[in-house]
Chain A
Amino acid sequence: MRQQLIQALVALLLIAAILLGVEFGVREGYLKAYEFPPASRIAQGFVELTTVGFPTGVTIWTHTFVTVMRILKGYVAAIVIAVPLGLLIGAVPVLDKMTAPLIVFFRSVATLSLLPLAIVWFGAGELTKVILIGYGCFWVMLSNVIAGVKYVDPALIRAARSFRVSGWTLYREVVLPAALPRMFAGARVALGVGFMVIVGAEMIGTIQGLGALIMEARSFYRSEITVIGMLVIGVLGFLISSGLAAFERLLLPWGGGSSEASR
């Protein structure tokens, strides 16, 4: 307890030292403000973002809301399709063998490299952004659901069979619950992917959203605004991930709350 306190204190001091160092360096002219935005500038930028907005009229709240909605749409769509599909593929070995190379292939294609094609197919509007996020989340979720179903501890299946439980009952009452922790892990990783894709997906065809904010700020050498965009994305990711972890503990009270829940 005491040691944790000291560790936290050291970490805080370190951060404070870095912030003060940057502040001092810029003031004395050793560092350029647009390369290393000092904390005071970032604070000013945040006030500007909450009142006037950047670009003018678009506040940080709008950016955040738009981004969260895009991620949620793509993410939820990906989960809703990936879960039943993965449950099916994982249960049917033939399907699994047939789809495995495809899944590895599509999963390996960096989502943002699809951006040009996606714009040709779906235009530069909302749909393209949601589809890109969905694409990124989908393959991660799908492979985790399949793995969850496939790699159920064989001892559990033998135990169930010894009680004459087989077929659909075995799948529903043993395979499915045994696969849930892995599926939740997949859902968390997929969410992370969604946040990684969003900045790129918002680079084009919009001035709203945290990704657009970051790009727009770059064009005006407003690096303090870029930093704010990064910070907000980080905080959002942390909050949503913690929410998912809490949801998992609620739904799977037997799991003991995996230790990497907040990652």
Chain B
Amino acid sequence: MSRTGPERASSAAGAAPMIDIRHVRKQFDVRGGGEALVLDDINLSIAANQFLSIVGRSGCGKTTLLNIIAGLDAASGGEVLIAGRRVVGPGQGQGMVFQQHALFPWLTALENVVFGARSLPLAKAEKIDRARELLQLVGLEASAGKYPREMSGGMQQRIAIARALALDPDILLMDEPFGALDELTRIEMQQELLRIWEARRKTVVFITHSIGEALTLSDRVILLAPHPGRVARDIAIDLPRPRSRTDRRFNEFYEQIWSGLSS
């Protein structure tokens, strides 16, 4: 393993970031020879409890980057540290919420959340207790016995959030979780997510196509430019919450991100 960064923050340092992405690159072999560079030298430090959104066009590598942080994909170069520990696989403090249809259809809402705690060394009863608590957190304790197909898209994504929290992760990685929802449900879910984030402080990395969504939610917005994927802008959003879409500064940020995306 070649360590590309000269400065390697010791994990003992108090100000160490929760997630430290260092010189991460990713290339895929292309059928018929050659390689496609998807991510090129990504460097990001994400502080604990920060809510960070990544915005970019389709194909800019945002999902790939998220999968690398999650430990589901390996980087071709560079490394990701979580609380100072190098990521070698899932379950190092990452919880993952996928776009949609990632609940297990043969398990009830409660069983899906219990599955999230599958790898914990707990007794079955304790896992069930924990799952019930999480269902309560997302406001769906009454739907514990329902199967995913019996629930609306918004409810399914709440269950997915509860499931992702089952391992009590430090980090919540969300891959366009509300992308398939209708506009009204989407806004409700954004408020819901902020409420959960207030209740259980987590570091969140949130991927979205929607500038408005990123601005409503985040402390910080990263613009990813495509071909190859690289950080184009890094914008701190210092607006108080709850945020209003008609606010003047909200719209200034919106313009700033939009110009970054279309340039």
Contacts and interface: CB of A to CB of B under 8 A. Distances in A.
Interface of A: 153, 155-156, 158-165, 169, 173-174, 177-178, 180, 252-256
A155 B116 contact: no
B119 interface: yes
Nearest to A164: B91
Contacts of A180: 106
A163 B102 contact: no
A163 B147 contact: no
B221 to A, nearest CB: 24
Contacts of A153: 101
Interface of B: 67, 70, 72, 89-91, 94-96, 98-99, 101-107, 115-119, 147-149, 163-164, 166-167
Contacts of B90: 161-164
Main secondary structure of the interface of B (DSSP, over half): loop
A254 B147 contact: yes
Contact of B104 (A177, A252, A253): A177
Contact of B101 (A155, A163, A177): A155
Nearest to B164: A162
Given A163-B90, A164-B91, A252-B106, A155 B98 contact: yes
Contact of B149 (A155, A177, A256): A256
A155 B147 contact: no
A253 B106 CA distance: 8
Given A156-B104, A174-B104, A254-B105, A161 B72 contact: yes
A258 to B, nearest CB: 12
Interface of A, secondary structure class, is helix
Contacts of B70: 162
B96 A159 contact: yes
Given A155-B101, A162-B96, A254-B106, 9 more contacts: A158-B98, A162-B72, A163-B90, A163-B91, A163-B117, A164-B91, A177-B104, A254-B105, A254-B149
Given A158-B98, A256-B149, A163 B118 contact: yes
A73 B163 CA distance: 45
B174 to A, nearest CB: 12
B104 to A, nearest CB: 6
Best-buried of A158, A173, A174, A252 by chain B (most CB within 10 Å): A158
19 contacts: A155-B98, A156-B102, A159-B96, A159-B104, A160-B115, A162-B90, A162-B94, A162-B95, A163-B117, A163-B118, A163-B119, A164-B91, A164-B119, A165-B115, A174-B104, A177-B106, A254-B106, A254-B147, A254-B148
B122 to A, nearest CB: 13
A41 B103 CA distance: 58
A255 B107 CA distance: 11
A164 B104 contact: no
Contacts of B101: 153, 155
Nearest to A159: B102
Nearest to B147: A254
A158 to B, nearest CB: 6
B173 to A, nearest CB: 8
Sort A-B residue pairs by CB-CB distance and give the 5 closest, nearest first: A164-B91, A162-B96, A164-B119, A254-B147, A159-B102
B115 to A, nearest CB: 7
A256 B91 CA distance: 33
A252 B90 CA distance: 30
Contacts of B96: 158-159, 162
A211 to B, nearest CB: 39
A151 B117 CA distance: 26
B111 to A, nearest CB: 10
Contacts of B115: 160, 163, 165, 173
A180 B105 CA distance: 12
